[in-house]
Amino acid sequence: MIPRYQTILFIVLLVASVAMGGVLWNLRERAHQRLVAGQDSAPTQAPAVAPAEQATLVVANDDDNTLLQQAQSLPLPQDPGQRARAILGKLLDLYAAPGSAHPVPGGAGSVAQVFLLPASSQNSDPGAASGNSKASSAIPRAEDKTAVPKLGDSIPDDTRPLLAVVNLTGAFVAGHPSGIETETLTVLSLCGTLHANLPRVTQVRFLVDGQPRATLAGHADLTRTYLATDDVAQP
């Protein structure tokens, strides 16, 4: 004869086991749904055949610490963000080529995205002084980070200045040579190239794998907003 208390205990344990099984099944379903939602199931955009256009690259040279304009012909998409990414990709391809005067590994795939956002008027002070060398014209601003517009903001009319947010890959940053000169030249050549081809871009910020980062490779400050002016595009 099974005692009554043992029967009750068995029933309680059975109910608890069933309930825990149900909770586990529910958690498993929710985890599965999260994984499915995390996958980018959007259809990839078919590559459009774009005609070759002239682009101006501001190319760095480590030997004399200068930035010089260089015209390149390459197919460019119509979308401004993708256009900026293609141009910067071409610039980084030059740096990754053998014999480059500014050797930086990585190439075109090092720019993950370029977002173009309306620049806040607080940051669009063109009167900020420029440096005394060609390599110093894209000067940083140290305003607070809250001034950066949200990614959802629409690009306004064709006259307002733009802020370009360049999202670099972690692999590019990890492989970038360390040094004040080489890092500064990379940052300034990216800023100058953006402004030379998209004159409305007057400010540039950098992200690495979508996150803010203190420096490029231990030296050049990436927490600042860089002002891209006409000076840097001058030969």
Partner 1 sequence: MHSTKSVSMRALGRRPLIVALVAMVAAAGLLAGTATAQTEPATAAPQSRFVVVLDAAHGGDDPGGRLTGGISEKAFTLALSVRLRSLLAARGIQVVTTRESDSTMEPNRRADIANHANAQACLSLHATETGSGVHLYASSLPPVEPARFAAFKTAQAGWVTRSLALAGVVNSSLLGAGISVKLGRTALLAVDSMTCPAVAVEIAPKSPPDRATGAPPAADLDDPDYQARIAEALAAALLEWRTEAREP
Contact positions vs partner 1 (CB under 8 A): 62-65, 98-101, 103, 128-129, 131-133, 135-136, 139-140, 142, 177-182, 184, 214-215, 217-221, 223-224, 226
Q: Which is nearer to partner 1, 196 or 220 (CB)?
A: 220
Q: Residue 97 CB, nearest distance to partner 1 (Å)?
A: 11
What backbone phi and psi angles, to 5 degrees, belong to 35? -65, -45
Ordered DSSP codes for 87-151? HHHHHHHHHHSTT-SS--S--GGGEEEEEEEEPPGGG--TTS---SSGGG-SEEE---GGGSPPT
Q: Which is nearer to partner 1, 21 or 103 (CB)?
A: 103
Q: Residue 206 CB, nearest distance to partner 1 (Å)?
A: 11
**In sequence order, what are the residues at sequence separation of 6 or more whose Cβ sits closer than 8 angstroms to the Cβ of residue 31?**
none
Q: Which is nearer to partner 1, 76 or 228 (CB)?
A: 228
Q: Residue 103 CB, nearest distance to partner 1 (Å)?
A: 8
Q: Which is nearer to partner 1, 110 or 186 (CB)?
A: 186
Q: Residue 196 CB, nearest distance to partner 1 (Å)?
A: 19
d(CA 27, CA 128): 56
How would you class 51 by CB atoms within 10 Å of its CB: exposed for 0-12, middle for 13-18, buried for 19 or more?
exposed
